[in-house]
Amino acid sequence: GWQGNGHVCEDINECEINNGGCSVAPLVECVNTPGSSHCQPCPPGYQGDGRVCTLIDICSVGNGGCHP
């Protein structure tokens, strides 16, 4: 978002408050952009949109690569 007096506006760094709404467990990087922000992808072993990341059960897909 933006803040200012209508003539001079400054970008608000949404990432400074609560990691910008991005996941904190696991930690996902919040990236501030002019007027907005976005979350980086969930780390390996997790799935989701960066705001919510859930642990992937690797055994549920192709038996986790293990021999049956």
Q: Is residue 6 a part of any domain in this protein?
A: yes
Q: Is residue 61 a part of any domain in this protein?
A: no
User: The domain that contains 14 carries what CATH number?
Assistant: 2.10.25
Question: Could you tell me what percent of the chain has a pLDDT over 70?
Answer: 93
Least confident window among 9-13, 32-36, 63-67:
63-67
What total of structural domains would you count in the chain?
1
Which residue has tokens 């200012």?
Answer: 4
Q: Is residue 60 a part of any domain in this protein?
A: no
Q: Which of 54, 52, 55 is nearest to 21 (CA)?
A: 52
Kindly give, in sequence order, each residue whose CB lies less than 8 Å from that of residue 53, ignoring residues fewer than 6 positions away.
Answer: 23, 26, 28, 42, 43, 46, 47
Q: Which pLDDT score is estimated for 32?
A: 95
| pTM summary value | 0.76
Binning pLDDT at 50, 70 and 90, where does residue 64 land?
Answer: low
Q: Is residue 48 a part of any domain in this protein?
A: yes
Q: How far apart are CA 64 and CA 68, in angstroms?
A: 10
